Amino acid sequence: MALQPMHSAPVPAPAGDYLLSLRDVKVHFPIRGGLLGTTVASVKAVDGVDLDIIRGETLGLVGESGCGKSTLGRAILQLVRPNAGSVLLNGVDLAKLSPNELRRYRADMQMIFQDPFSSLDPRYTIGKTISEPLRNFGRGSGAERTRRVEELMRIVGLNANWINRYPHEFSGGQRQRIGIARALALNPKFIVADEPISALDVSIQAQVLNLMEDLQREFNLTYLFITHNLSAVKHISNRIAVMYLGRIMEVGSADEVYSQPQHPYTIALLSASPVPDPTLEQQRKRIILTGDVPSPVNPPSGCPFHPRCWKAQPICREVRPVLEVKRAGTTQLAACHFPGA
């Protein structure tokens, strides 16, 4: 029942050692109308995503609110079933599995939710909350589950004597640690962390990020870290993917994306992120995007960013750019006809 710690940092995965591969994943939500409730349109929340997640890494997923980040995370875990495309976990296409077949893979994939209070049942003690995955999958006897819960509480920095307390008796940071302990209960390989620090005080955010990094080193976890906090994603991520209007605009190592962003949308996002050095902050040029984010019901043709892009040309309105390498000698990808600053 016990977790088996690695006691050392995981060896970086070689290129191509993918735990997860997404190919042309689409999640469209129908809009119904009329007396018969027929589908009149659809919200294209995720609209053709190709993405690879390397075993043992943290892939940061960033973008504006409403761009489809959380929906993509849920589609990977099959909490929302994709309308099209494939989600390959160790070569198995989860999107094609029946619910009974999919259950075999549920234990390998877990989620840390954004709001640590609403994601916990107020009627459950934290002991019952953390042990729920063990009961659901029939792991261990009652005594073994109790020992496992106490072990998990110690691992995430909680006092095991608090096992019979309720969620309202804890602070926001402690409740998020409870959520992390629950996610670890079944020894998962992959965790989707959906805005795990956005509901926490700034002083607590660093503690939770450091805890997640420690757990990753100890248990060789793979994270998809969803956030709009560019400072946090730079701190914790090996690679970063930038999402806009349901599509991936850019993917690269954290250093590449921050030092030499290729897509204009990435450049605009980074220009809005504050720098802790007052001198550098005064020298920076802020890029203010004009116009509103287009509707995901009727996204623009060609590049989805072209209505707000200061570099847009006629080809951008007509041809959808391919996500491909734009800088020789790197693995940095961008979906842009005119990449670079």
pLDDT at 273: 79
Distance from C-alpha of 240 to C-alpha of 62, rounded to nearest angstrom: 7
Q: Which residue is listed with tokens 């929340």?
A: 45
Cα angle value 127/133/138 (rounded, 5°): 110
> Residues 151-188: pLDDT tens digits?
999 999 999 999 999 999 999 999 999 999 999 999 99
Distance from C-alpha of 180 to C-alpha of 110, rounded to nearest angstrom: 10
Distance from C-alpha of 332 to C-alpha of 132, rounded to nearest angstrom: 41
In this prediction the pTM is: 0.90
pLDDT at 272: 82
Distance from C-alpha of 326 to C-alpha of 266, rounded to nearest angstrom: 14
Q: Which two tokens stand for residue 134?
A: 């063990």
**Among the listed residues 183, 190, 195, 179, the one whose alpha carbon sits nearest the alpha carbon of residue 67:** 195
Q: Which residue is listed with tokens 């790197």?
A: 330
Q: Which two tokens stand for residue 213?
A: 């990094």
pLDDT at 275: 72
pLDDT at 54: 95
| Cβ 150 vs Cβ 96: under 8 Å | no
Q: Residues of the chain whose pLDDT is less than 70?
A: 1-16, 277, 281
- Helical packing angle, 172-184 and 142-155, nearest 10°: 130
pLDDT at 83: 96
Q: Which two tokens stand for residue 26?
A: 């689409």
Distance from C-alpha of 235 to C-alpha of 217, rounded to nearest angstrom: 15
pLDDT at 9: 35
> Residues 116-142: pLDDT tens digits?
889 999 999 999 999 999 999 999 899
Distance from C-alpha of 23 to C-alpha of 338, rounded to nearest angstrom: 24
